[in-house]
Amino acid sequence: MGARTDWPTFGATLVVLLGICIPLLVMQQQANDFINAAFAVMTEKFGILYLWGGIAAVGLMLWLALSRFGHIKLGGPNDKPEFTAFSWAGMLFCAGIGSGILYWGTIEWAYYLQSPPLGIEAGSDKAAEWAATYGMFHWGITAWAFYGVPAIPLAYLYHVRKQPELKLSAACEGVLGKHAHGPLGRLIDILFMFGLLGGVGTSLGLGTPMVAAGLSEVFGIENSFGLSIFVMLLCTAIFGISAYSGLKKGIKVLSDINVWLAVALLVFIVVAGPTLFILKTTTNGLGLMLQNFVQMNFWTDPISNSGFPEGWTIFYWAWWIAYGPFMGLFVAKISRGRTIRQVVTGMLVFGSIGCWAYFGALGNFAMHLELNDILSVTGLLNEKDAPTAIIAVINALPLSSIVLPLFCVLALIFLATQFDSAAYTMAAVATVELREDEHPARWQRLFWAFALAGLPLSLMFVGGLKALQTTAITLALPQLFITAIMAVSLIRWLYQDERNGVQIAQQTISTAQQRSEAVLT
C-alpha cells in the first residue's frame, strides 16, 4: 500500500463533478433547458469532428494492420502471448462492453423503426431492415476502432519502449515531448477522468433503471425512482464490500458468472426464440451494413437535417471515445507478446462479432414480437419508457419466470463490475505513482464508486436520456483531441524507432565489416 493520493487531480475532478450535479439538482428547469441547448450546440457545431474521428480511427487501424508496422511485436522477441486467443478475446469483450449492450441490444431498433435513417419511410419494411442494421453499425467496426486507437500507443509505450507508465499523458509524449510530464500532462489525465465520468455515467444511468424495472417485475413491487437509487446502492455495495475487504476473488467470480450467463442468454434466445427470423435478419443486416459502411460513416444528413446522425451516430462515437482510453489501458496490459496486427484485428473482429451477436439475437427477437403483433414494443417505449419495454421483451421469452431473474442478475453484475473497474481506474489516476504491485487506496475506490453513482442519478432525475447523451458528448470532446495526439505520437514513434533500429543494425554491420577487414589485412 502506501500509494499517495494526487490531491490536485482528485480535487479538480471532484469540483467538476459537484459543479455538474449540484446545479442539476437545485435548478432543475434551468438545467434541463441548458442541457437541450448544449446538446444542440455540441452536436451541430462539433458533431462532424466525431464523425471524422471515426473515419480516421478506421483508417489508422487499417494502416496498422496492413503496413509493415503490423509485424511489430508488443514485447521482447521471446515474449509469448500471456493468454490464449480465446481468453484474450473474452477479456477484451467483457472489459469494453457492459450493461449498455443489454439495454440497446434489445431496444435500439425500436427507435430506428419509428424514425428511420437515410430518408426511409417510418414503420416500412425497409425501415425494419435498417433498424436491424444500424445498431450493428453503432456497435461495430468503427466503434471498436475507437477502442483500438488509444490501445496501440499505450501498449507500444509499455511493451516496446518499455516505459512502465500506463498513463494517457505518457502516451502523448511523441507529440508533446517533455510537456507530457508537466502541467499539460496533468490536464490530460484530469480530462481523461471527465471523459470516463461521462462514459460510465451514461452506462450506469441507463442500466440502473433497467435493473430496477426488472426487479419490480420479478418481485411485484412498484418501479419508482427510489428503486433505481436502491439498485445503484446495491451495485456500489456489492463491489464496495469486495474492494474494501480486498476480495479480489469476489469480483473475479462475479465476472466469470457474468460471461457464462451472458453466453447462455444469447444461445437460449436464438434457440428458444424465432431462430430462423433471427438468423435471416442478422445476416441481412450484416450485408446492408457492410455494403453501406462508407456511407454510414460519412452520413451527415446535410439537406433534410433529420437529426439522426447527431442523436445516434455522434452520441455513440462520443460514448465509445469516452471509454476508449480506459479500455486502451486494459488492452495494453493484457496484450504482451501479440503483434500490432493481431491486436488490431482481434479487437475489430472479435469485438464487433460479439456485439453483433447480441444485437442480432436480442434485437431481432424483440423486433419479431413487434412485427408479428405479439407485443407492441414501440407502444411500451412511447407510452411508458425504455426499461419497461426491455423487461417486457425478456418476459416474452419462454421460461420467463427463470429467464427474467437471471437477466436481472446478469445486468446487476454487469453494472457492479463496471462500477468496480471505473472506480479503480479513477482512483489509480488520482494517485501519485502506482507501481505494478500497488493498488490505489481503498477509501478512494469506494469514494469514486459513490461519486460515479451521483452523476447519472442526478442526470436521470433531471433530463433522462438526452441529459446523459449531452454529458457523454460534451465530456468526450477533449478526449477526441487527446486520442488524436496519441495516434500521432504512435506514428512518430514507429518511424523514429524504425530509423534508429536501422541505424543500430547498420552500425553493427559496419563495425563487423571493419573488424573482418582488419583481420584480413
Any contact of residue 97 with ligand NM2 (CB under 6 A)? yes
* Three cell numbers written together for 196: 470516463
Residue with cell 435500439: 108
Residues 239-298 that bind ligand NM2 (CB under 6 A): none
Of positions 9, 13, 43, 99, contacts ligand NM2 by CB under 6 A: 99
Q: In whole angstroms, give the CA distance from residue 98 to residue 119.
A: 32
Tell me how long the chain is. Answer: 521
- Which span (218-226, 289-297, 316-324, 441-449) binds ligand NM2, by CB under 6 A? 316-324
Residues 172-211 that bind ligand NM2 (CB under 6 A): 203
Other Cβ atoms closer than 10 A to 66: 11
Q: In whole angstroms, give the CA distance from residue 276 to residue 270.
A: 9
Identify any residues that bridge with 431 across adjacent strands, giving them in sequence order: 5
Of positions 69, 111, 137, 319, contacts ligand NM2 by CB under 6 A: 319
Residue with cell 457545431: 45
Min dist CB 95 to ligand NM2, Å, is 9
Q: In whole angstroms, give the CA distance from residue 504 to residue 511.
A: 11
- CA-closest candidate to residue 462, choices 216, 234, 231, 225: 225
Task: Answer for the pair 180, 195: CB distance below 8 angstroms, yes or no.
Answer: no
- Which span (51-59, 229-237, 248-256, 318-326) binds ligand NM2, by CB under 6 A? 318-326
Any contact of residue 347 with ligand NM2 (CB under 6 A)? no
In this complex, which beta carbon is closest to ligand NM2, that of residue 99 or of residue 223?
Answer: 99
* Three cell numbers written together for 408: 436481472
Any contact of residue 9 with ligand NM2 (CB under 6 A)? no
Residues 138-167 that bind ligand NM2 (CB under 6 A): none
- Please report, for residues 145, 232, 354, 503, the alpha-carbon distance to residue 349 in angstroms, rounded to integers and kept in the order given: 10, 33, 9, 36
Of positions 156, 192, 317, 323, contacts ligand NM2 by CB under 6 A: 323
Q: In whole angstroms, give the CA distance from residue 312 to residue 410.
A: 26
Any contact of residue 98 with ligand NM2 (CB under 6 A)? yes
Min dist CB 142 to ligand NM2, Å, is 12
Min dist CB 322 to ligand NM2, Å, is 7
Q: In whole angstroms, give the CA distance from residue 222 to residue 388.
A: 12
How many residues touch ligand NM2 under the rule CB under 6 A: the total is 10
Any contact of residue 137 with ligand NM2 (CB under 6 A)? no
Any contact of residue 320 with ligand NM2 (CB under 6 A)? yes
- Which span (22-30, 90-98, 277-285, 372-380) binds ligand NM2, by CB under 6 A? 90-98
In the complex, the residues that contact ligand NM2 under the rule CB under 6 A are 96-101, 203, 319-320, 323
